[in-house]
Amino acid sequence: MRARLICLAAVPLLLAACGAGQPGAAAVIDGRTISVAQVDEAAEVICRLSIAQQPGASLPSVEVRGQALAELLLAEVADRVAEAEGITVRTGDVRIFEAQRVELEREFPGLDAETTTDLLETSRRTAAIAEQLGAVETGEEPTATNAAQLRQVGRAELVRLLEASDVELSPRFAASPLAEAARVPAPLSVGASTAPEDTGQDVTLGTRTCA
């Protein structure tokens, strides 16, 4: 992240000098702002989906919010790469269709349907771009067998490009988005009947806890 990344390796007292300067900004990447509100909305979706897939899991909110910001940052980089490299992603490959949207609303009451749909589609698009980028990097033709490996290779390249981008981070996020971007190779997903049973478990981020 050029000179600004140096700040992220400094002691915590210096992080305030490295944060995104715009009020309410979680990050600014190449002049485009990702707001704290966007991160919080995405984090709530990630939290709920993760709890559904891992009942009883404890998910530190700092990690969930870091993953949310990582997904949003990588999406920006992926779109830029796709435009530069002529990579195209078919709408039908990433779209959440109306029947799936209705199912999401039924299984995850309280989640904003538009935010959830947008995040899932964004994650799928980033994964699809990463897969094609991985194919370019390795010279391999994508198949069902090597798709996951190509996505991992492509995502690693997206992370490298993210690190080289002009990015400012709010001090509250420190370096967490980079760590999360590097270790979360799979696209966000949700399947049928994945909603958690009503156990009284707190899965909201209102108190900054996921479980």
User: Would you state the pLDDT for residue 196?
Assistant: 38
> pLDDT digits over 1-33, tens only?
433 322 222 222 223 334 455 678 999 998 899
pLDDT tens readout for residues 115-135: 899 999 999 999 999 999 999
DSSP state of 139: -
**Given this model, what pLDDT does residue 133 score?**
95
The pTM of this model reads 0.74
* Topology of the domain covering 23-182: Triger factor/SurA peptide-binding fold (1.10.4030)
> Tokens 């000179």 label which residue?
3
Domain ranges of the chain: 23-182
Rounded Cα distance, 21 and 96, in Å = 35
Residue of 68, 105, 74, 112 whose CA lies nearest to 208 = 68
Half-sphere exposure of 158 (CA within 13 A, CB side): 37
Where would I find the beta strands (DSSP E) of 97-208? 167-169
Mean residue pLDDT of the chain comes to: 76
- Number of residues that make up the chain: 211
Query: Which residues lie closer than 8 Å to 31 by C-beta, 6 or more apart?
Result: 166
Spatial separation of the C-alpha atoms in residues 75 and 208, rounded to whole Å = 24
103-117 pLDDT, tens digit per residue, is: 888 888 888 888 899
Does 199 score more than 50 pLDDT?
no
The Cα–Cα gap between 193 and 38 comes to 27
Residue 35 DSSP symbol = E
